[in-house]
């Protein structure tokens, strides 16, 4: 057979054979590459997540707490996110995000081949990975299913997932998933939550400048934070605006106006900072009942009894009251100094600064410099100065009081947008205060303050602290006497007395070391006379008094010793306040409650709480006791409250050595209790009685709480016959304290 190459010159034959071999080699190489690629894709996609799960995907979302009028007071979340729909994102925000992150988002099928090639070329030129090539869909796949590492393996998986997502979902659905999932700095996830955090408005109301600023954050939430790096944020925002102009999304005039606008933030306070002790009580309850995952990721809606306005009034009243106490007792100094602790001034960050400050709020500030007659301070992004006039109450010189690096306590008087502030020097010597307000009709807790500063101490002094209640216990003694048939006009002899007890003779005294002779029960309670209270308790038996206290809801252990009648018993502010609400409630106790309703992600009601009521004493007894406690305010130890423009009643309480100061009081609609003291149970100082330390706080709060409201009047007390207490029983007692007021 004649060869095909027989007539060809030898050179041409050799050339054609070489070409054939090259073609064969190329085919083999291509087959190998295809096979290797297929093998790699098989390996990389064997453990690929199923995008079908996205159809039922519910991003981790915030469990929100609402007050009695639907206002947010707190939240629980692993990721602070507010889920929104596509329509909730303003068109200008959608345009801004697409222009800067993925110009061809609405045209590609999940990946942008030419963008990947361009990014790879620029990476090679720069010698590193500096150019992003991921589409919004690829970013979504990475954020939902993959790790953030920059390996080839992850990139292949990201690409495959993006293609699958594009096949299953529409562009608006993909955009919505991305916009709800992305991290945008400061613990905020998703553009709805970011819009509310940075600008205090929903994402549908964003302006061009605001939308551009948010759209610039996904590239680097920390690097471009408008809070920590406003200059970088401004440049990044303007880059987004230019990209929108190039894409024809906005006009040149709109771009110019937006670029010239300053970065104007309206940062929202952490809602948990308003009533942190109350929110913490709710958290413990919910986690115990529903589990941690459900509470922090389940998007529960928790409706509570709290009132935002009353809580603000309570916070201010307690802090102002403690500041007044501190000033009465003079400057003590002993400030913490960060320089001596080895910290740099420019690196220091106090927990108080995590939240945006408010006028009339109190905050710890860092002294950045101190000289003759002036000291400069810093707290968060604000700076202030203290002159000699500002510290006059201390009777000291600025340069001697404050040194560079000191942490001092100040009240914020004014704040300006440019970061300047005016403050007054205050003091935090460790004195604590607590306040609890309860709605008489429903038992709903309307305000709760558990201490001076939740960031420094989570211990709730309103619900967890057992403290001696002093003479605020005496109403239980008088209630027992009245309920057993006594009258406020019965008389008792206020004179020196000695009780024989199992541990020896007990000779109590009155606060003023005086005796008034024969006085009515009404006056004895109003003036908080100790001897009459002990005689009454001795007559009916201390166990009877304890039984009545327990009827009022007191669960603390009350030893059967006579001094318990003077408040030598430790009770929480919560129980004491709830007990006092029995008086204006005509003898009915309504169990205190925090929550009114809890619903889940779909809106199903998980629980709904209604007031629980229990009869404690007769309406007659309650009305008589209310009238007697009204005398405490009108002519007794609580007389400072007589000037209030609505009817109030209550009782002061002070323990030995002035370690605890109380005022328990109520109007026809609300009961409020206030406690002041130190955690370590040391003296507040001479004359720091309940009427001096606690009552002003109570008055400030109740004035705000009742302002503009129809408070009503107390029910009239019935007339009762007059009798005389003649005999004093002396059961076995063991004294532990003498009471004051």
Nearest residue to 350 (alpha-carbon basis) of 306, 328, 382, 326? 382
Helices (H) and strands (E) in the chain, counts: 21, 25
3-state secondary structure of 334: coil
CB-CB contact of 450 with 664 (8 Å): no
pLDDT tier at 39 (50, 70, 90 boundaries)? very low
Token pair for 33: 């590459």
Strand runs (DSSP E) across 515-648, as ranges?
517-520, 570-571, 588-590, 595-599, 605-608, 613-615
Supply φ then ψ for residue 114, to 5 degrees. Answer: -65, -30
Supply φ then ψ for residue 368, to 5 degrees. Answer: -90, -20
3-state secondary structure of 216: coil
**Catalytic: which of 64, 99, 101, 581?**
101
pLDDT above 90: residue 663? yes
CA distances from 137 to 159, 195, 441 (A): 9, 22, 55
Give dist(CA 374, CA 232) in Å, integer.
Answer: 34
pLDDT tier at 150 (50, 70, 90 boundaries)? low
Q: Classify residue 347 by burial, with Cβ atoms within 10 Å: 0-12, 13-18, 19+.
A: exposed
What mean pLDDT comes out for the span 716-727? 56
Residue 155: CB atoms within 10 Å = 18
Please give the share of the chain, as a percent, with pLDDT higher than 90: 65
pLDDT at 117: 52
pLDDT at 727: 39
Among all chains, which residue has been given the structure tokens 């203290």?
Answer: 386
Nearest residue to 477 (alpha-carbon basis) of 418, 540, 386? 540
pLDDT at 615: 96
Give dist(CA 382, CA 366) in Å, integer.
Answer: 11
Nearest residue to 473 (alpha-carbon basis) of 535, 584, 563? 563
Virtual CA dihedral for 170, 173, 178, 179, nearest 10 degrees?
130
pLDDT at 81: 80
What mean pLDDT comes out for the span 622-634? 97
**∠569-574-578 over CA atoms, to 5°?**
95
Q: Classify residue 601 by burial, with Cβ atoms within 10 Å: 0-12, 13-18, 19+.
A: middle
CB-CB contact of 549 with 580 (8 Å): no
Question: What is the reported pTM?
Answer: 0.80
The DSSP bridge partners found for residue 609 are: none
CA distances from 690 to 60, 387, 474, 557, 562 (A): 48, 34, 14, 23, 22
- Half-sphere exposure of 603 toward its Cβ, with a 13 Å CA cutoff? 0
- Half-sphere exposure of 51 toward its Cβ, with a 13 Å CA cutoff? 22
CA distances from 545 to 24, 172, 489 (A): 107, 70, 20
pLDDT tier at 35 (50, 70, 90 boundaries)? low
The predicted-structure confidence for 70-127, as pLDDT tens digits, reads as follows 999 988 877 778 888 999 999 999 999 999 998 988 888 767 655 555 544 455 454 4
pLDDT tier at 128 (50, 70, 90 boundaries)? very low
Give dist(CA 396, CA 553) in Å, integer.
Answer: 49
pLDDT above 80: residue 45? no
pLDDT at 275: 95
pLDDT at 567: 94
CB-CB contact of 363 with 335 (8 Å): no
The predicted-structure confidence for 318-339, as pLDDT tens digits, reads as follows 999 999 999 999 999 889 999 9
The predicted-structure confidence for 455-496, as pLDDT tens digits, reads as follows 889 999 999 999 999 999 999 999 999 999 999 999 999 999
Q: Is 612 an active-site residue?
A: no
Give dist(CA 741, CA 737) in Å, integer.
Answer: 13
3-state secondary structure of 267: coil
CB-CB contact of 584 with 648 (8 Å): no
Token pair for 539: 């007559």
Q: Is 688 an active-site residue?
A: no
pLDDT above 90: residue 504? no
Give dist(CA 80, CA 183) in Å, integer.
Answer: 9
The predicted-structure confidence for 588-605, as pLDDT tens digits, reads as follows 999 999 999 999 988 899
Lowest mean pLDDT segment, chosen from 51-55, 132-136, 499-503: 51-55
DSSP state of 686: T
CB-CB contact of 122 with 26 (8 Å): no
**Catalytic: which of 61, 273, 305, 471?**
471
Token pair for 739: 């009471």
pLDDT above 70: residue 520? yes
3-state secondary structure of 564: helix
Q: Return the sign of the alpha-carbon dihedral for residues 273, 278, 283, 286.
A: negative
DSSP state of 705: H
pLDDT above 80: residue 559? yes
Q: H-type helices in 102-170, by residue range?
A: 113-126, 136-145, 152-168
The predicted-structure confidence for 219-256, as pLDDT tens digits, reads as follows 999 899 998 888 999 999 999 999 999 999 999 999 99
- Quick one: which H or E segment has residue 479? helix 474-483
Nearest residue to 73 (alpha-carbon basis) of 260, 276, 223? 276
Token pair for 594: 């925090």
The sheet that has 63-66: what strands, in order across it? 72-76, 63-66, 301-304, 595-599, 605-608
Among all chains, which residue has been given the structure tokens 């009798």?
Answer: 723
Token pair for 5: 């190459």
3-state secondary structure of 621: helix
Virtual CA dihedral for 638, 545, 582, 613, nearest 10 degrees?
160
What mean pLDDT comes out for the span 18-22? 68
Token pair for 654: 């002070």
pLDDT above 80: residue 36? no
pLDDT at 152: 52
Virtual CA dihedral for 211, 215, 217, 218, nearest 10 degrees?
150
Nearest residue to 209 (alpha-carbon basis) of 233, 179, 227? 233
Token pair for 178: 């991305």
The more confident residue out of 274 and 736 is 274
C-alpha 718: how far from its chain's center? 45
Q: H-type helices in 268-418, by residue range?
A: 276-290, 292-297, 308-328, 398-401
CB-CB contact of 398 with 388 (8 Å): yes
- In terms of average pLDDT, the best of 39-53, 136-150, 650-664 is 650-664
Give dist(CA 373, CA 437) in Å, integer.
Answer: 43
- The gap between the terminal CA atoms of the chain, to the nearest Å, is 131
3-state secondary structure of 380: coil
**What mean pLDDT value characterizes the chain?**
87
What mean pLDDT comes out for the span 349-353? 87
Give dist(CA 371, CA 389) in Å, integer.
Answer: 14
The predicted-structure confidence for 276-286, as pLDDT tens digits, reads as follows 999 999 999 99
């Amino acid at each position: 057979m004649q060869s095909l190459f027989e007539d060809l010159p030898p050179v041409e034959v050799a050339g054609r054979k070489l070409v054939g071999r090259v073609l064969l080699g190329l085919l083999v190489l291509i087959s190998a590459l295809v096979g290797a690629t297929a093998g790699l894709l098989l390996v990389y996609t064997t453990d690929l997540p199923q995008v079908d799960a996205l159809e039922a995907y519910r991003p981790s979302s915030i469990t929100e707490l609402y007050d009695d009028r639907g206002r947010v007071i707190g939240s629980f979340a692993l990721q602070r996110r507010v889920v929104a729909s596509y329509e909730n994102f303003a068109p200008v925000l959608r345009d801004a995000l697409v222009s800067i992150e993925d110009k061809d988002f609405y045209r590609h099928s999940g990946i942008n081949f030419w963008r990947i090639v361009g990014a790879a070329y620029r990476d090679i030129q720069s010698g590193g990975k500096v150019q992003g090539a991921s589409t919004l869909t690829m970013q979504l796949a990475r954020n939902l299913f993959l790790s953030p590492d920059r390996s080839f393996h992850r990139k292949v998986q990201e690409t495959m997932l993006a293609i699958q997502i594009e096949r299953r979902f529409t562009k608006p659905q993909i955009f919505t998933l991305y916009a709800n999932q992305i991290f945008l700095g400061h613990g905020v996830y998703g553009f709805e939550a970011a819009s509310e955090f940075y600008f205090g408005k929903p994402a549908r109301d964003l302006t061009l400048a605001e939308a551009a600023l948010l759209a610039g954050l996904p590239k680097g939430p920390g690097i471009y934070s408008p809070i920590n790096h406003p200059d970088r944020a401004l440049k990044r925002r303007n880059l987004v605006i230019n990209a929108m102009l190039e894409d024809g999304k906005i006009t040149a005039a709109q771009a110019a106006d937006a670029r010239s606008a300053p970065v104007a933030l309206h940062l929202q306070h952490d809602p948990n900072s308003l009533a942190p002790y109350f929110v913490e009580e709710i958290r413990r309850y919910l986690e115990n009942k529903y589990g941690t995952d459900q509470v922090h990721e389940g998007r529960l809606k928790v409706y509570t009894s709290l009132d935002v306005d009353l809580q603000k009034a309570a916070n201010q009243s307690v802090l102002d009251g403690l500041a007044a106490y501190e000033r009465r007792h003079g400057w003590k100094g002993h400030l913490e100094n960060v320089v001596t602790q080895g910290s740099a001034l420019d690196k220091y960050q106090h927990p108080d600064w995590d939240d945006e400050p408010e006028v009339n709020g109190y905050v710890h500030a860092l002294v950045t410099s101190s000289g003759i007659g002036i000291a400069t301070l810093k707290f968060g992004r604000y700076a202030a100065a203290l002159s000699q006039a500002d510290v006059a109450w201390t009777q000291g010189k600025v340069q001697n009081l404050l040194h560079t690096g000191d942490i001092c306590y100040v009240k914020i008087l004014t704040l300006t947008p440019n970061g300047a502030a005016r403050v007054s020097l205050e003091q935090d010597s460790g004195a604590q205060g607590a306040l609890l307000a309860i709605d008489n009709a429903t038992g709903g807790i309307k305000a709760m303050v558990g201490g001076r500063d939740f960031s420094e101490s989570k211990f709730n002094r309103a619900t967890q602290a057992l403290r001696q209640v002093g003479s605020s216990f005496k109403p239980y003694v008088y209630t027992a006497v009245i309920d057993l048939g006594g009258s406020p006009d019965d008389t008792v002899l206020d004179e020196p007395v000695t009780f024989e007890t199992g541990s020896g003779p007990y000779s109590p005294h009155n606060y003023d070391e005086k005796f008034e002779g024969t006085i009515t029960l009404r006056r004895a309670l109003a003036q908080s006379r100790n001897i009459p209270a002990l005689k009454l308790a001795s007559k009916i038996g201390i166990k009877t008094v304890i039984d009545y206290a327990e009827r009022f809801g007191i669960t603390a252990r009350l030893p059967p010793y006579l001094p318990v009648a003077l408040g030598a018993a430790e009770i929480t502010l919560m129980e004491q306040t709830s007990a006092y609400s029995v008086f204006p409630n005509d003898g009915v106790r309504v169990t205190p409650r925090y929550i009114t309703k809890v619903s889940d992600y779909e809106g199903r009601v998980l629980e709904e709480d209604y007031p629980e009521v229990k009869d404690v004493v007769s309406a007659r007894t309650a009305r008589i006791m209310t009238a007697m406690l009204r005398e405490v305010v009108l002519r007794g130890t609580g007389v400072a409250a007589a000037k209030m423009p609505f009817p109030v009643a209550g009782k002061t309480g002070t323990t030995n050595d002035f370690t605890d100061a109380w005022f328990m009081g109520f109007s026809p609609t609300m009961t409020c209790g206030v406690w002041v003291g130190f955690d370590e149970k040391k003296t507040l100082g001479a004359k720091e009685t309940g009427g001096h330390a606690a009552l002003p706080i109570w008055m400030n709060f109740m004035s705000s709480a009742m302002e503009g409201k129809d408070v009503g009047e107390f029910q009239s007390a019935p007339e009762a016959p007059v009798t005389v207490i003649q005999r004093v029983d002396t059961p076995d007692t063991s004294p532990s304290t003498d009471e004051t007021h």
